[in-house]
Amino acid sequence: MAELDRGERVEMMVDIYESAGAVTLQDTRPQRTGGKSGSRRPRLAALCLGLLCALLLITNILLYMHYVHGKENLDFTAERESLLSRIRNLTEERDQLKNSYQNLTEEKIQLNKTLTENYRNLHTTYIKSLAMLSHLKEWEKFGSSYYYFTSEGKTWSEARQDCRDRGADLVIINSIEEQEFINKKNKYVWIGLSDAEAEGQWKWVDGSPLTIEFWKDHEPSNTDANEDCATFNPNTQKTWNDIHCSCKAGWICEFPLIYPQEIH
């Protein structure tokens, strides 16, 4: 061996390695051939398992979607019932409000009527008060009224108009005290009593019927069927007489501080 040159030793070592590699390849080649057919089964199993997992996943997704959809349907039904209930409640409230509105409208109309009537009465009283104040020094107070006496000759209607112009009306005799008060003035005058609207049905100028009477004997006579206005003839206890309304006489105006309908 020592006699072998360097080139021969190298060739020998190459041959040894190649022989060793060939042996190694011959040992391993059959094993690789047998392993190729055996590795297909795990891959197929893995593929099937993957498919099963995918199928299971899809199934789960479908079940979840079905569950969610069903739950949404239930939620929708409950919400629909809730909304219907609210609609019913709102409808009832609307009907109640409608009734309340109608009642309030009727009350408003009634209040407006009352207010208008009160305003009209107040305005009338105001105008009467102004007229009364302008002639106050000519008036005489007795009881709860002011009285204006005049002997100027006018018809019953003219006399009444004069009283109205003064914010008052012809006198209404409500008591024996008022009768005696007027009697003491000793004036022949018109009083606010007439049966012009219905013969024999004597009424005061405010529309009230007689509550106390002081007719002279045999009066009211309605002489010539045309005596519809009452005069006051002083100096007797019974002083009233009906005469023609177109006759001339003095008159008495009365401005009550209390309205006649408030006197009981």
Contacts with Ca ion, residue ranges (CB under 5 A): 172, 174, 195, 219, 221-222, 227-228, 241-242
Q: For residues 189 and 227, which CB has a smaller minimum distance to Ca ion in the complex?
A: 227
Q: How far is the CB of 230 from Ca ion (least distance, A)?
A: 9
C-beta closer to Ca ion: residue 174 or 233: 174
Question: Taking the CB of residue 38, how many other CB atoms lie within 10 A of it?
Answer: 8
* Residue 53 backbone dihedrals phi, psi, to 5 degrees: -60, -45
Minimum separation from the CB atom of position 132 to Ca ion (A) = 15
Q: Reduced to 3 states, what is the DSSP secondary structure of residue 123?
A: helix
Q: How far apart are CA 55 and CA 79, in angstroms?
A: 35
Closest CB to Ca ion: residue number: 221
Beta carbon nearer to Ca ion, 124 or 223: 223
Which residue, 6 or 206, has its beta carbon nearer to Ca ion?
206
Which CB, 205 or 242, lies closer to Ca ion?
242
Q: Where are the alpha helices (DSSP H) in the chain?
A: 6-38, 40-134, 156-165, 176-183
Give the amino acid at 36.
K
Smallest distance from Ca ion to CB 221, Å: 4
Q: Are 213 and 122 in contact (CB under 8 A)?
A: no
CB 98 to Ca ion: min, Å: 51
Residue 69 φ/ψ, nearest 5 degrees: -60, -45
Which amino acid is present at 240?
A: W
Of 161 and 222, nearer to Ca ion (C-beta) is 222
Smallest distance, Ca ion to C-beta of residue 122, A: 22
Q: What are phi and psi of 80, to 5 degrees?
A: -65, -45
In 3D space, the residue among 260, 244, 222, 256 whose CA is nearest the CA of residue 157 turns out to be 244
168: DSSP letter: -
- Minimum Å gap between C-beta 157 and Ca ion is 15
Cα(192)–Cα(157) distance, integer angstroms: 10
Of 36 and 184, which has the nearer Cβ to Ca ion?
184
**CB distance 160 to 172 below 8 Å:** no
Q: Which amino acid is at 144?
A: S
Smallest gap from Cβ 252 to Ca ion, in A, equals 10
